[in-house]
A and B are shown apart, each in its own frame.
Chain A
């Protein structure tokens, strides 16, 4: 039963309950340890028995299982599961360009951040929220546990989009401040004049699992413009004078596809998950289906 503190305008309570059954899937954590699920940390417990292996010279003798040696007269090393402190980084592009579309991309991004963040909190992961672009304030200190859900929601509620896109700077700044290993989810439209590659490289350098969620508004995916227009860039105030024509629209669609493809290629080539979603897609659909199939949650 969610408390009143967890109520938010971003997500409805029924959906929150569904989210509680999900968990963030962190492949990296499992790589260095045993196969099987990632354990939650309990208070006072730092390690847990995992397996045995043959002793080789140089191993720490403190980890030799002497009871086994007593019975079998051979040296076995006792292996313990080291419980990593998994951090879920949710990075929001809060530039002015996100405040666009119906529904707005930024609302969609905050809802998605709230949902993913709530999954992390419910799974007792460390959740670090942050904005990587725009004039919005930097994120709160990382938080853990459902008890912090209300704090997370209120911070997300209070966010305002504004300012230009500078993904690379935002990503580097976040990586410096939050060293925790884990999963990084970057929610942006990737409409960065300076390019998205630098930003993604910054995130890769953290050795976290990175997922890029590209949000585009329906108006961007399939614009319904007509006549002689002066298109003004919401961030740079640069403008393009166009006379809408069939040829122009065709060319726009080609360029749009090429742009998305470019981001996807860059991501996939570096083992980064990439998802393109329209801001009109229901959040439930994104979390319960798209991210689940993409291996972000399970």
Chain B
């Protein structure tokens, strides 16, 4: 019976085969033929003899109906025993196919990529759908996308499957878990709609996030694609600024070797398209080697590192780095040479290495337009310069801004802590000897105020950032308090630095932040493959450009100004392409299914169908004989 269990779900029902002798018995009983008296059997006898002589299988033909009946019974008994075969496909009625399209899925094995293999497996799943079965298709890289919601339309499923393209990003399965969890039967809104959901995760199992979302109450099959580990790739590429010493900037390159044996390769560093340096590198098996190149005096441009030799995953053999000039905040203090405020400011500003400080007296002041931050102490020009402005104890000539009489010892009231300038500040214990009574224009924001007058106010006009201090710092005890250098730091952070704040390298899939441009307008983003996108810029806040699924240099053009961005994978998880044996999904640890997805396909419907067909044949033979 155990042996039968390998073929039948219910082998006990084979006992129904015991009914066959009963059929034979019934047949024999039934063959007590109807007696018909006829005048003479003379002619019939002769006919019978003729027929018997002509048909050697007459005996067999006579019993054909019996054979068919036995066959029908045998088929029905077999059907009751519920035989099954192990077939490719699934038994699920509602399938959720999740396809990994992250960078490691671009690994070429055989003639096709892992992604192509995964899509082929998914196509087989679509083919194995039976009527009434539904499927949905989800892909994920750094984020998850639903390509096709649950449907039984195989054409739509195939189209959706074809639309999945590889991305150069890391894989982030958290979104997938969220989708799957929302479809789990313990979600009362879904259970009625999607009972028996079964998830098929087609991936090589390389995940960049191990985030657990707790129990996920859905059966998940981890169908692993991929075999090889013959890959090496650049997993680190960064710029190192000299810290506190003079010297050249350095490019740091990390190469990961996933192979089982050491890798000997050359690493070439390009500036734009010219080779800057070439260096031999040996990387031990399953380890990382680093390389440091000293850079010549380069200001801006695109660095590219390449390791030699093609391997199964080509996209991680190159990395880019956008070179930018060191960040500078050009600051000008306009004050009388003996002003105390200027002294305190200079000391606080000197703490920040980025500050390029210059000072000038009001008499010598001329608008050069070269400063990011201009601080006017006790004096204001007739025409305001560009850049961020700070007025100390001076009221600039702005519409709606009216200066009144000085106020003695104004008490400090609650600050507006939401403003970036006031971050981390607790200026409640500042003692101010004297302040100018100011009436703020409409739209200005008082950040720290006294009863009669604002003490610190954001009087930015449109696109220019302007801050007003209505008192002289030297007339207060503020410079000796902790909140003063914090205020200066906040001020520097508040000062927008066009074009220089961009990161040198952006992770693929993460957005490029396009800084706010006062004049607004559009930016043209040129992708690594040469295509362009137009992005509408916001005058007051940065815009995120998220279409960075592919690695390489991106060029952002705003008006005349061009800024290059380097988008890289630089992920050891994706470069180490060895397929995972298990995959953590929620709390479950899924073992990899490497072969074809198999299930026990029950055969009883076919047996019953065959039985019915034979029944019809039997009926036809009977009626043919009877009436033919």
Contact = CB atoms under 8 A, between A and B. Distances in A.
Interface of A: 96-98, 100-101, 105, 189, 191, 193, 217, 219-220, 225-236, 238-249, 251-252, 254-256, 259
Nearest to B622: A227
Interface string B602-628: 000000000000000000000011111
Interface string B52-66: 000100000010000
Contact of A255 (B35, B38, B47, B62): B47
Nearest to A105: B39
Contact of B39 (A98, A228, A239, A247): A98
Given A228-B34, A245-B625, A251 B42 contact: no
Q: Is the interface of B mostly helix, strand, loop or mixed?
A: helix
Nearest to B628: A246
A255 to B, nearest CB: 5
B50 A251 contact: yes
A251 B34 contact: no
Contact of A230 (B33, B40, B47, B51): B33
Contact residues on B (Cβ < 8 Å of other chain), bracket: 20 to 34
Contacts of A226: 626-627
Interface string B175-197: 00000000000000000000000
B44 A245 contact: no
Interface of B: 30-31, 33-48, 50-51, 55, 62, 624-628
Contacts of A241: 33
Given A251-B51, A256-B43, A232 B626 contact: no
A249 B41 CA distance: 14
A219 B39 CA distance: 10
Nearest to B42: A191
Given A240-B45, A240-B48, A255-B47, A232 B624 contact: no
A247 B38 contact: no
A246 B620 CA distance: 13
Contact of B44 (A219, A234, A242): A242
A249 B625 CA distance: 10
A219 B37 CA distance: 12
A28 to B, nearest CB: 33
Given A251-B51, A255-B46, 10 more contacts: A97-B39, A189-B39, A226-B626, A227-B33, A229-B35, A230-B36, A252-B44, A252-B47, A255-B47, A255-B50
Contact of B35 (A232, A236, A248, A252): A232
Contacts, number: 102
5 contacts: A191-B42, A193-B40, A239-B41, A240-B48, A246-B628
Contacts of A193: 40, 42
A97 B37 CA distance: 10
Given A226-B627, A246-B624, A255-B47, A240 B34 contact: no
B432 to A, nearest CB: 123
Contacts of A229: 33-36
B541 to A, nearest CB: 93
Nearest to A216: B39
A234 B46 contact: no
Given A240-B41, A255-B43, A259-B43, A230 B48 contact: no
A234 B40 contact: yes
A231 B44 CA distance: 8
Given A231-B44, A239-B41, A259-B43, A225 B36 contact: yes
A29 B36 CA distance: 48
Contact of A232 (B41, B42, B47): B41
A264 to B, nearest CB: 16
A228 B33 CA distance: 6
A97 B38 CA distance: 8
B48 A247 contact: no
A236 B42 CA distance: 10
Nearest to A247: B51
Given A226-B626, A248-B48, A233 B40 contact: yes
Contacts of B36: 225, 229-232
A117 B628 CA distance: 44
Contacts of A234: 37-40
A144 B112 CA distance: 115
A230 B35 contact: yes
A36 B36 CA distance: 53
A208 B44 CA distance: 35
Contacts of B43: 220, 252, 255-256, 259
Nearest to A259: B43
Contacts of A255: 43, 46-47, 50
B55 A233 contact: no
Contact of A243 (B37, B42, B50, B625): B625
A275 to B, nearest CB: 19
Contacts of A252: 43-44, 47
A217 B43 CA distance: 14
Contacts of B51: 247-248, 251
Contacts of B626: 226-227, 244
B34 A233 contact: no
A251 B35 contact: no
A169 to B, nearest CB: 18
For the complex of A and B, the 6 pairs showing the least CB-CB separation, nearest first, are: A97-B39, A246-B628, A191-B40, A226-B626, A230-B33, A100-B39
Contacts of B628: 245-246, 249
